[in-house]
Each structure stands twice: as structure tokens, then as C-alpha cells.
Amino acid sequence: MGGHDHHKPYHVPDHTVYKLENAPELIKVQEKLAQEGLKDPWLRNEIWRYDVTKWGTFWGRGFRYATCGFKLGIPLFLLTIGLEKAFGIEYGHGHSHDHGSHDGEHDSHH
């Protein structure tokens, strides 16, 4: 079937650029491991994911993740509304404005 894309899906930065002090969540992990007499030699490789100087706090990352599509989504939404107005596209609410009454007669199909 299809060809293979030989590009990496994302770039993992070099761990030496980041400091563990800027990743409070990983410091907690390190402290809990130390209480058990353990150490994770690969923990430094995850600092880039938790660095508060780049991504902010847990809630800041959550907000950024939740709103990541807004930059593209809002302009496309506004474009869609503009095109609908320009072409006169309207969406009904499932009933007519007439409500079936003609000279006092009522439609029995309601």
C-alpha cells in the first residue's frame, strides 16, 4: 500500500538544553523514587515535556492543548459564516413561520 514517510513525527530536543529544576513534576517523581532507593537514569530525557519555562504549569499545558486548534478554527468558522451569508444559505428550525393557519383554519397535521 502507500509509501512510507521517512520524517520523524516530532523532534525530541537534546536533554542537555533543559534543567530538572524547571520541571517540578519530575522533581516529585525523582524524590519518590529516591524514597524507595531507586533512581531513573532516563528521567532527564523527559524534561522537555515538563519544562515550565517553555510550556508552563500543568494547567497551562492543559489550556494550551485544549485551545491549540483555535488559531485555525476561528478564522475558518468566520469564513464559513461569511460564505453562508454571501450565498444566502439559511438553516431552518424544523418548522415554518406560517404555523399552518389560513384565515382561521388550523392545520390538523401538527
What pLDDT digit, counting tens, does each position of 20-77 carry?
Answer: 888 888 999 999 999 999 999 888 888 877 777 766 677 877 888 888 899 999 999 9
d(CA 61, CA 50): 9
What confidence score (pLDDT) does residue 82 get? Answer: 96
d(CA 83, CA 75): 12
Residue 40: other Cβ atoms inside 10 A: 13
- List helix spans (H) across the chain: 24-35, 47-50, 52-55, 58-66, 70-86
Prediction pTM value: 0.42
Instruction: Give 84's pLDDT tier (boundaries 50, 70, 90).
Output: very high
pLDDT at 3 over 70: no
C-alpha cell at 34: 529516591
Three-state DSSP class for residue 51: coil
Q: Comparing 105 with 82, which gets the higher pLDDT? A: 82
Instruction: Give 86's pLDDT tier (boundaries 50, 70, 90).
Output: very high
d(CA 64, CA 53): 14
What confidence score (pLDDT) does residue 95 get? Answer: 61
What confidence score (pLDDT) does residue 62 get? Answer: 81
Cα 54 to its chain centre, rounded Å, is 17
pLDDT (tens digit per residue) in 90-109: 888 666 555 555 555 555 55
